[in-house]
Chain A
Amino acid sequence: MVVIVGSALAYTSLSLKPLQKKNAADKQMVDILGALGVSTTRVEAKADFPTYVKERLSLDFEGNVLHVSTGDVDPVDSSDPFNLDVKKDYRSKRPPSELSFPLYVCEKEGEKIYVIPVVGSGLWGPIWGFVALESDMKTIYGAKFDHKGETPGLGAEIKENFFSDKFKGKEIADSSPYFTIFKGGSDTHINSVDGITGGTITSVGVGEMIHRTISIYQGYFESVTNSSEQ
């Protein structure tokens, strides 16, 4: 019985993998564009993506650029930063020095916008999202979050716009903690937003993932700022 069930499940999983991968890639484009404030659908995402996303970078943990891709996304090219699996990297035990981190350099209405993928832990499973920073690399232009299986009505609300809209205009702090989420944060702090009532652990997870990821990208941002000043 175990053998039959096991092989049936393995077969389904393997045969549907390519389609699911394509769906996941489409979804990733929709979410990146969502963080930019561009609403699109799965079908149109492929055409819209190169219009806004000009460069796809991968960085090491100190912020040095490892690889740059432009133009259309190649789904099989493993060196394309778009295909870096940040969720898998987050789960793996490998130290950050062995990982590379994707960064999307986008352009919207003449403004340069940086989109950073973030991954963290919610209450029941992984949460992830994209944070878009303006060209000063401090002000948050927009954000988009999603989750695997947070509680509907509570933690799952992070994917709704009312939550991600609160990030607009907030700033990344100059030092640690770069971003926090707590009750009353929206009104009192420029580096914080409110959590979701009843979804504390998920909310804190969102804050933690932004803080942790931003701290990795700081090296790159500093190098960009320094080079533009000189």
Chain B
Amino acid sequence: MSTENSAITPKRESLFSKNNRKLLKDPLGDSNPITIQVLGICSALAITVQLQQAVIMSLSVLFVMIGGNVIVSLLRNLIPDRIRIIVQLVVIAALVIIVDEVLKAYQPDISEKLSVFVGLIITNCIIMGRLEAFALANKPGPSVLDAIGNGMGYAWVLLAVSIVREIFGSGAISLPGMGQVKFLPQDWFISSGGFYENNNLMILPPMALVVVGVIIWIQRSRNEALIED
């Protein structure tokens, strides 16, 4: 959490100034909400069995994050300090309900699989954390970038974990609107005389933790500055 408040500059800056690029890039790597700050783990473990769920979940979180950051950033001078958490909660909760309703209408199957985890976006620490740490102290412009950065930081970990889990766990890849595509030939499987078997452990939640752990491991071994004692 070291990037806060660095974006406040008196001068108007271009969209791709150094600060703005930092806002977008840092959460993808060196201050990634999942792998470095270890926030939002609950949903990352629960919904990464299939890629299509992860895609929808990522989009939902991205939407709530951008919406929340912009609204709170716009209201930042109006919100009394003592009730700011309540105001943030109202904003997030309203956005999450909208997402939930839209999913129920347009993606009923995936909405069903995500079940309570869409509602649990309300308590996703990443979103609350960004509102509290960034949007309350910054203009809407940088806040949007911060939201996109963190949302994408969350999304790529989710997508990576779900791709690994779905390929090894179900031998398939799924995308919203496409359904699940099993790409391994059927006669590879032991059940039809082949040599291959899906790894059922991959479907179970603990494996998500292991995969996230591996990502954290790779990331820290490449950048030793991230290693804490």
Contacts and interface: CB of A to CB of B under 8 A. Distances in A.
A147 to B, nearest CB: 9
B101 interface: yes
SS of A interface (majority): helix
A174 B46 CA distance: 43
Interface residues of B, number: 19
A156 B115 contact: yes
A12 to B, nearest CB: 5
A42 to B, nearest CB: 7
B214 interface: no
B141 interface: no
Given A152-B46, A152-B116, A9 B94 contact: yes
B16 interface: no
Contacts of B116: 149, 152
A12 B101 contact: yes
B115 A8 contact: no
Given A5-B90, A5-B94, A27-B108, A20 B101 contact: yes
A26 to B, nearest CB: 8
A3 interface: no
A227 to B, nearest CB: 41
A19 B104 CA distance: 8
Contact of A23 (B94, B97, B108, B115): B108
Contact of A42 (B87, B108, B205): B108
A26 B97 CA distance: 22
Interface in B76-116: 87, 90-91, 94, 97-98, 101-102, 104-106, 108-109, 112, 115-116
Contact of B115 (A5, A20, A149): A149
Contacts of A9: 94, 97-98
A12 B106 CA distance: 13
Contacts, number: 40
Contacts of B101: 12-13, 16, 20
Nearest to B109: A42
Interface in B98-137: 98, 101-102, 104-106, 108-109, 112, 115-116, 119
Interface string A22-44: 01001100000000000000100
A46 B158 CA distance: 35
A27 B101 CA distance: 16
A20 B46 contact: no
A5 to B, nearest CB: 5
A23 to B, nearest CB: 4
A149 B87 CA distance: 26
A1 interface: yes
A16 B91 CA distance: 20
B170 to A, nearest CB: 16
Contact of B102 (A1, A12, A42, A153): A12
A218 B141 CA distance: 66
Contacts of A153: 205
A20 B103 CA distance: 9
Nearest to B75: A1
Contacts of B87: 1
A161 B94 CA distance: 35
Contacts of A27: 108, 112
B106 A19 contact: yes
A8 B94 contact: yes
A68 B216 CA distance: 62
B227 to A, nearest CB: 33
Interface of A: 1, 5, 8-9, 12-13, 16, 19-20, 23, 26-27, 42, 149, 152-153, 156
Given A12-B97, A20-B101, 11 more contacts: A1-B90, A5-B90, A5-B94, A8-B94, A8-B98, A19-B105, A20-B104, A23-B104, A27-B108, A152-B46, A156-B115
Interface of B: 46, 87, 90-91, 94, 97-98, 101-102, 104-106, 108-109, 112, 115-116, 119, 205
15 contacts: A1-B87, A1-B90, A9-B94, A12-B98, A12-B102, A19-B106, A20-B101, A20-B105, A27-B112, A42-B109, A149-B115, A149-B119, A152-B115, A152-B116, A153-B205
